[in-house]
């Protein structure tokens, strides 16, 4: 029986000068070696072969289609566009693999990959036909088909089979997670909209909700502090903005304006600063 050596660290007693302590010591243990997983080895080898075939296919297709396109454009642009023909169906094949647990989502990239593959094969065949070697064009086009077919077999082998109920369960799980993920940008937009509304309300004076019950304002005194109402609360503001808001709301008494400024803007606002802003606001008004 084949064995393998495993090293473990254990605490062993060690006595020095009559005192015993537990010290770590590395111990070698011989364990039976597991049998070789030939399925895993063969699958790794097949995957490596598929990678080599795909690389050769990309090189061949790019050279062939690049030669076809270089008849009308400069070579760098021609070969840069030629590689797109193979990258398109390779990308579609990768997306199909990512959606392997959802047949409905995998159907679109599968069809798109087949279309891109046919276009790439036609381009390679056209290059051989224009060069006067249609047989070489057909064989060259078959290279892309063989690479695509090999990768389809490899990926299909690694895709676990799922029954209908399990597929539906996974679909609902993904749908629930997707809904939670989609709510994140929506909530950001809602919060941003609420913030804009709050900023707009803070920047503009509030309009009266209803007309005054007493339309006769001939006896109204703007300087009477008892008739003025304190503005509603809102977001924080500067001392200057708080003074302007208080005056616009009918607060003309410097003491009440100072109290409002200390409540909304700066709790340590000085009376002289507030009185200066009151004078400037009245002069500007």
How far apart (Å, rounded) are the C-alpha atoms in residues 257 and 252?
Answer: 7
233 and 138 assigned to the same domain: no
pLDDT at 231 over 80: no
Taking residues 145-158, report their average pLDDT. 91
pLDDT tens track for 80-94? 999 999 999 999 999
Whether 217 is in a domain gets the answer: no
The more confident residue out of 224 and 144 is 144
Domain-ending residue, one of 140, 162, 184: 162
Please count the structural domains in the chain.
Answer: 3
Taken as a whole, the chain contains a residue count of: 285
Q: Which two tokens stand for residue 61?
A: 């297709």
112 & 23 share domain: no
Residues 105 and 138 in one domain: yes
**Residue 227: both structure tokens together:** 């008739």
Tell whether 244 and 278 lie within a shared domain.
yes
Q: Are residues 158 and 255 in the same domain?
A: no
Question: How many other β-carbons are positioned within 10 Å of the β-carbon of residue 117?
Answer: 23
Whether the predicted pLDDT of 213 surpasses 50: no
Q: Report the alpha-carbon distance of residue 189 to residue 51 in Å, rounded.
A: 45
Task: Give pLDDT tens digits for 127-143.
Answer: 999 988 899 999 999 99
Whole-number pLDDT of residue 78: 92
For residues 50 and 158, membership in a common domain is answered with yes
Least confident of 104-108, 176-180, 214-218: 214-218
Burial track 218-229 (b if 16+ CB lie within 10 A, e otherwise): eeeeeeeeeebe
The answer to whether residue 110 is domain-embedded is yes
What's the confidence (pLDDT) of residue 216?
47
Q: Are residues 59 and 12 in the same domain?
A: no
pTM: 0.56
Same domain? 57 vs 135:
yes
Q: Which two tokens stand for residue 91?
A: 């990308």
The SS3 call for residue 20 is strand
Alpha carbon distance 239, 268 (integer Å): 10
How many whole angstroms separate alpha carbon 93 and alpha carbon 109?
7
254 and 158 in a common domain: no
Output Rg (C-alpha) for the chain, integer angstroms: 40
Say yes or no: 126 and 86 in one domain. yes
pLDDT band at 225 (very low <50, low <70, confident <90, very high): very low
Residue 171 maps to a domain: no
Stretch 233-237: mean pLDDT: 64
Residue-number span of the structural domain to which 111 is assigned: 44-162
Query: Longest C-alpha distance within the chain, in Å?
Result: 113
């Amino acid at each position: 029986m084949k064995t393998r050596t495993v090293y473990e660290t254990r605490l062993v007693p060690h006595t020095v000068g009559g005192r015993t302590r537990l010290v770590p010591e590395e111990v070698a243990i011989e364990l039976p070696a597991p049998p070789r997983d030939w399925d895993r080895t063969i699958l790794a080898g097949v995957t490596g072969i598929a990678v080599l075939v795909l690389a050769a296919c990309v090189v061949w297709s790019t050279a062939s289609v690049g030669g076809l396109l270089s008849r009308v454009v400069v070579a760098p642009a021609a070969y840069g566009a030629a590689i797109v023909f193979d990258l398109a169906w390779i990308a579609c094949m990768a997306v199909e693999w990512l959606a392997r647990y959802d047949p409905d989502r995998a159907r679109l990239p599968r069809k798109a990959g087949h279309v891109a593959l046919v276009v790439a094969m036609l381009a390679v065949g056209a290059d051989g036909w224009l060069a006067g070697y249609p047989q070489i064009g057909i064989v060259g086009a078959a290279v892309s088909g063989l690479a695509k077919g090999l990768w389809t077999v490899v990926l299909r082998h690694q895709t676990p089979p799922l029954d209908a109920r399990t597929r539906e369960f996974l679909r609902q799980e993904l749908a629930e997670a997707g809904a939670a993920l989609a709510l994140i940008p929506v909530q950001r937009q809602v919060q941003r909209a609420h913030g804009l509304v709050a900023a707009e309300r803070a920047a503009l004076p509030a309009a009266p909700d209803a007309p005054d019950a007493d339309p006769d304002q001939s006896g109204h005194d703007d300087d009477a502090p008892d008739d003025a109402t304190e503005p509603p609360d809102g977001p924080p503001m500067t001392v200057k903005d708080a003074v302007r808001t208080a005056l616009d709301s009918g607060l003309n008494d410097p003491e009440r304006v100072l109290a409002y400024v200390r409540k909304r803007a700066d709790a340590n606002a000085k009376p002289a600063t507030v009185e200066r802003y009151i004078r400037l606001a009245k002069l500007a008004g």
